[in-house]
Structure 1
Amino acid sequence: MTTQSFLYDTQEVIGKLWNKYPSPEHRQLLGVARDALFYVYVTGKRYRLEDFRKDIGSGLHCPPDTQERPGDDFTGLDAQLNSTECFFKKLRDETTSARQRNLLQAILDTLLFISSTGQHSGFSEYLEHLEADAPPYAIASFNTKEEVEAWLKNHPAPPDFAHVLVANAYHDVVYERERNFRRMLRSRTLEYHLADLKKRHPPAAVASFATLEDAEAWLKAQPTPARWAWVSIAGEPYLAVYHPNLQHRALYPLSMANGYEVEDDEEEPGEP
């Protein structure tokens, strides 16, 4: 199953359940599953998940002595994951459709993959990223194209797909394990994000600067910046971005979005 088909098929299941179970309690559980699937996708962990599923066998738990437990900071998240697992187990056991059962099991294995392999911190950070409506999630940052190409070439198990930053610019890294195919492509995901953000949150600068250097100094001096904020530089709107998982800060001119506006009827639905 490809990354795209895995994500599409499992999200289709969650979309149907979203309409079937409209209560806040059920939708919270469905939201956890939805976000868990996207977390695996955006961090490029599909092959790790595939190997995990082969190791444990469908429906089997990791042995207790090999299961990594979360620290005290993530007991609430662990409880959410456990509750979501219970909900999807019940759905799996009640279905008579073989395809539906397999997809529900894939969702269950994804939840178990996160909860039993010590990924509470990474998943929690990703949930905070979503809550902040932050720019596209990146997993690594490099100064030059040569650095990222060397990293991709020498990585023993690179992400199958993920965004990385190269001198602040978004790129996509792609890996196909069967052919050991590795490639990096320029991404326009930020340009579309800026165009969408402009419509949903019209620029209202939190600070104004005469030069880019002044703005960079201000952003660097912030102890814990917001994940994103509008600023004005020489009268032009810029997006100030902070990636806490990378300890990386960047400024992007809104003019990058010119020509990337999406018509309202082409926008993707927000739920689930």
Structure 2
Amino acid sequence: MQVKTDEALAEAAILIASRRQTAALKGRAEEEKLWLYLRTLSYFVHATGQVYRFEDALTRTEPTEQRHVSARLRAHKNTLAQPAVELLLHTLGETPEPEQKPVLVLIALLNFIAETGQLDDVEDFFSHHLDHAPVAIAHFTRHEEAEAWLKGVAEPPSPARILIGDEYFQFWYDREDNTRGMYRDYPIEPALEALTARGIPSQRPSFATRAEAEAWLMSHPANPYSFVAIAGEHYFAVHHPRLQRHSLHHVASALSAWEERKRAVEREAALEATAPSDGTRE
């Protein structure tokens, strides 16, 4: 079912892109902003691992309720949610019934976020997500802790990123067959590569120990990245506001791992390009 939900959100994204472009071409800046806000809703549910939760909300919505707007949404003083739902209702009214599904999905998405008390979180995500590091929803000290959590939770958030130590991992869960797993992810390495290419600042905070660096960063959070020195080595500090912590990435090691990952991807692509198609296999 998650695949179907992703497909529905993808159809909604196509509608948003078209309507946003039209608003931009006609100089309707406020309307364009609202379409951008609606596009962010899908990013938010994916980044926070709530696709299945939204799917359940969709499943519970009767056809007669699809045009219903949550009372909690109408009562909320959020500066963007209310005009966004009014825009969707207007769009629904001018859209032929066979083409209304993406609009109804977006109304349901706004209702879901309102009913789960996340309107303020979405507003903050919309305003600041480009200034924040990629979202990690949990932190674990050791890999075994993350594995135990992933296996022990009845329905883990999916898909979502977590931190194990200072490394990002992507984890996933398939409700259909109850399979789940995780793999190493590299969402910040491109930013690290680009920033180091410009040169690591010569004036940067320097600390004797990691504990000293962490204590200083708590009162001087990176926004969202900054370089620090620990015991003479360069580190990349990444701020995770949701987790109220920083991860610290040894620059030389992180860049080396990223180069190896890029080489592995290139090797995989080359093998796929040279592999015979099914019709030519012997």
TM-score (norm 2): 0.76
Q: Are 1:240 and 2:247 matched, yes or no?
A: no
Would you say how many aligned residue pairs link Structure 1 and Structure 2? Answer: 249
- Deviation by residue 1:68-111 (Cα, 9 ceiling, x = unmatched): 898xxx83xx231111011012112211262x411121112111
**Cα gap change, 1:166 to 1:24, in 2 (>3 Å):** same
* Counterpart selection for 1:39 from 34, 44, 53: 44
Q: Which residue of 2 is the match for residue 61 of structure 1? A: 68
Q: Which residue of 2 is the match for residue 181 of structure 1? A: 179
Q: d(CA) in 1 for partners of 2:245 and 2:101?
A: 40
Q: d(CA) in 2 for partners of 1:39 and 1:254?
A: 29
- Deviation by residue 1:169-211 (Cα, 9 ceiling, x = unmatched): 1001101111111111111222234335557x86546623265
**Paired letter, 2:235:** Y
Q: Which moved more, 1:244-253 or 1:23-32?
A: 244-253
Say whether the 8 Å CA contact 1:228–1:241 is kept in structure 2: yes
**Paired letter, 2:95:** T
- RMSD over equivalenced CA pairs, Å: 2.9
Q: d(CA) in 2 for partners of 1:202 and 1:87?
A: 46
Q: Which residue of 1 is the match for residue 18 of structure 2? A: 16
**Cα gap change, 1:18 to 1:196, in 2 (>3 Å):** farther
* Counterpart selection for 2:247 from 250, 258, 261: 250
Report deviation, 1:57. 2.7
Q: Which residue of 1 is the match for residue 167 of structure 2? A: 169
1:194-213 equivalences in 2 (<5 Å): 194-195=192-193, 203-204=200-201, 207-209=204-206, 213=209
Say whether the 8 Å CA contact 1:139–1:163 is kept in structure 2: yes
**Paired letter, 1:225:** P
Q: Which residue of 2 is the match for residue 151 of structure 1? A: 149
Say whether the 8 Å CA contact 1:68–1:118 is kept in structure 2: no
Q: Which moved more, 1:231-240 or 1:136-145?
A: 231-240
Greater helix proportion: 2
Say whether the 8 Å CA contact 1:10–1:107 is kept in structure 2: yes
Question: Percent identity among equivalent residues?
Answer: 26
- What are the ranges of 5 or more consecutive residues in structure 2 without an aligned counterpart? 263-282
**Cα gap change, 1:125 to 1:18, in 2 (>3 Å):** closer
Q: d(CA) in 2 for partners of 1:205 and 1:36?
A: 40
